[in-house]
Structure 1
Amino acid sequence: MRRTFLKGILAAGVAAVTFTAVSVQAGPLMDRIESGETIRLGFANEVPWAYPGENNKPLGFVNAYAIGVLKQMGYDNIEPVVTEWGGLIPGLKAIRFDVITGGMYILESRCENVAFSEPMGRFGDAFIVAKGNPKGIENYKDIKDKGALFVTGAGYNTVEAAKKEGVPEANILTVPGPTEILAAVKAGRADAGGVTYFTALNLAKESADEVEVTDPAALPDWTLNWVGIAFRDADQDFLDKFNAAQKEYLGSADMLGTVAEYGYTESQLPGDVTTEWVCSNR
């Protein structure tokens, strides 16, 4: 009888341990979903990557892509949360939203703070300069050698890139985002503005022919980057499911049709590069 009683206690203990382990595996995002709450998408105003439309409707190809993957997973109860670029990672960590869909490059420094999905695209940077490029600026070396003033966004990868290429910190002006970058170049407060190539094309279009875009191929090869969707480390369970769904969705006719209006094409597909590799090499 005693042996049977001890077996019962042991079985109950194992059950309790098993239950605890399962509970620990569920991250805060799955807890929200299971309680009927929204999946909150965090993004800034970065045309054509991710930006708000009427009533903060999530527009841009990264938003469209992420929403497509979520639908593939069976989720469509989403809520947009718009913030400045520099507030994206702090906002995610502070649980003000659940996913970063802003078009964020996967960088080693960011991998230390958030968990990225497998890459959803490969992209390059470029500069915007005054029409005619009067100072002949094509790359970071030109900025350094000519003592030019470089403007870019707070928290942008281009801040790290400029420093790595030897541009003095005193020659780097950081502003909230693309609108301010364009304004600085147009007003002559900066000689070149560093953004993604897609963003540069959009800014040139907005400028009424006052700025032009440099050749992205003039920048070092190592500045070519891959974009991922960012999650909190605690939501690894959800991220694993997202990656599985993304594998089926990425490059599909449905996906390419959804993002085509924003300029994303097959040439931007990420190839076989993994997030693990990018975190170690960018």
Structure 2
Amino acid sequence: MDPRYLIPVVIILFTASVIGYIQYQSGIDTSLSDHQHNCITIGYAVEPPYAYVSGINITGESPEVAQRIVEKLGIPCVTWRQTEFGSLISELEAGRIDVIAAGMFITDERLKRISFSSPSFKVNQGLLVKSGNPSDIHSYKEAVDKKDVIISVLAGSVEQTAFLELGMPEERLIMVPDTPTGRSSVETGYSTGFALSTPSIRWLASHSPPGVVEEAQPFVQSDIPGLKSYGYGAFGFRKEDKTLLSAWNNAMKEYIGSDNHLDLVRRFGVLRDEMPEKEFLLYLSR
């Protein structure tokens, strides 16, 4: 290299290193600015209607809303990363993804590890059963009390926690990695029911052959110790990424519940009465 250019190059590299070191030592949060010139990596798990693959597209309530928020933040592109639901938080903590967009419920246990955005929906408990509901189950509590009932749940899901809190023996719970496996467990009789939120159950029932599976109705909501009466779904972030989370929440505040938002999520079976209450739109992660 020409010596005339060597000193400026060294100065530039040294300056960049010093800036990076100062940011690291002072805890400067660059979680938003880092992505305004680069792609953001968003993780999801296959759980229709919240997230699934259609052809070559990643779609569902959570990815579609995330895409709108990303655009509002001026982030140029998204890289999507699929994983099992139970691995999403670990992927986030390891830095392999920047945001979770999977219809994940806010729970106290999850808040110990990650931060959540304001909720994008609230939903009730639901259960997928064989057509005719042969075991006559109309609540999670009934499923626990009937000793011959076996329930499938997504590994790491709020439904898994709910059943354990209600006293369901672990040997009567089947952990499945995704919703197709859960539905198959009911269709084949491997389990009596598959526990998910109501939009997911509606989706699975409406996208199955007639006369095979159905949503258990009527369905009574069971009080679960330590869990809210509704499931509030939100986007997940690393605890240190406060700037990105704050900007994401500000964009959501203008969008969630708007006509454009309702038109978007209605096709995934998420209805107006499943929008979070206004006070929850101002939800601040702990």
Runs of at least 5 residues in structure 2 that lack an aligned partner in the other structure: 1-17
Question: Could you tell me which residue of structure 1 aligns to residue 180 of structure 2?
Answer: 179
Listed as ranges, the matches of 1:81-230 within 5 Å are 81-147=81-147, 148-208=149-209, 209-215=211-217, 217-220=219-222, 222-230=228-236
Runs of at least 5 residues in structure 1 that lack an aligned partner in the other structure: 1-15
Of 59-68 and 206-215, deviating more is 206-215
Of 231-240 and 219-228, deviating more is 219-228
How far 1:217 moved relative to its partner? Answer: 4.3
Conservation of the 8 A alpha-carbon contact between 1:140 and 1:167: no
Q: Measure, in 1, the Cα distance between the counterparts of 2:154 and 2:218.
A: 18
Q: Measure, in 1, the Cα distance between the counterparts of 2:278 and 2:259.
A: 19
Question: Could you tell me which residue of structure 2 aligns to residue 257 of structure 1?
Answer: 263
How far 1:119 moved relative to its partner? Answer: 1.3
How far 1:75 moved relative to its partner? Answer: 2.1
Conservation of the 8 A alpha-carbon contact between 2:138 and 2:216: yes
SS of the residue aligned with 1:203? helix
Q: Does 1:266 align with 2:272?
A: yes
Conservation of the 8 A alpha-carbon contact between 1:106 and 1:278: no
Q: Deviations over 1:1-29 (max 9, x none)?
A: xxxxxxxxxxxxxxx99x94798454463
Q: Deviations over 1:33-57 (max 9, x none)?
A: 25x32111110111111112333x2
Pair 198,75 (structure 1): closer, same or farther in 2 beyond 3 Å: same
Q: Measure, in 1, the Cα distance between the counterparts of 2:256 and 2:283.
A: 19
The structure 2 residue matched to 1:29, chosen from 23, 28, 31, is 31
Q: Measure, in 1, the Cα distance between the counterparts of 2:263 and 2:177.
A: 31
Regions of 4+ moved over 6 Å = 275-280
The structure 2 residue matched to 1:246, chosen from 242, 252, 268, is 252
Q: Measure, in 2, the Cα distance between the counterparts of 1:242 and 1:278.
A: 12
Conservation of the 8 A alpha-carbon contact between 2:45 and 2:102: yes
RMSD: 2.6
Q: Measure, in 1, the Cα distance between the counterparts of 2:241 and 2:110.
A: 16
Conservation of the 8 A alpha-carbon contact between 1:161 and 1:223: no
Pair 26,248 (structure 1): closer, same or farther in 2 beyond 3 Å: farther
Q: Does 1:236 align with 2:236?
A: no
Q: Deviations over 1:242-273 (max 9, x none)?
A: 11111111222222222232222321210134
Conservation of the 8 A alpha-carbon contact between 2:38 and 2:76: no
Conservation of the 8 A alpha-carbon contact between 1:49 and 1:63: yes
Normalised by the length of structure 1, the TM-score is: 0.84
What is the aligned length?
262
Identity percentage of aligned residues = 26
How far 1:228 moved relative to its partner? Answer: 1.0
Q: Measure, in 1, the Cα distance between the counterparts of 2:160 and 2:132.
A: 25
Normalised by the length of structure 2, the TM-score is: 0.83
Listed as ranges, the matches of 1:14-93 within 5 Å are 20=22, 24-27=26-29, 29-30=31-32, 32-33=34-35, 36-55=37-56, 57-93=57-93
Question: Could you tell me which residue of structure 2 aligns to residue 4 of structure 1?
Answer: none
Say which structure is richer in helix: 1
Q: Measure, in 2, the Cα distance between the counterparts of 1:179 and 1:223.
A: 26
Q: Measure, in 1, the Cα distance between the counterparts of 2:236 and 2:214.
A: 31
Q: Measure, in 2, the Cα distance between the counterparts of 1:66 and 1:194.
A: 25
Q: Measure, in 2, the Cα distance between the counterparts of 1:132 and 1:270.
A: 32
Conservation of the 8 A alpha-carbon contact between 1:197 and 1:216: no
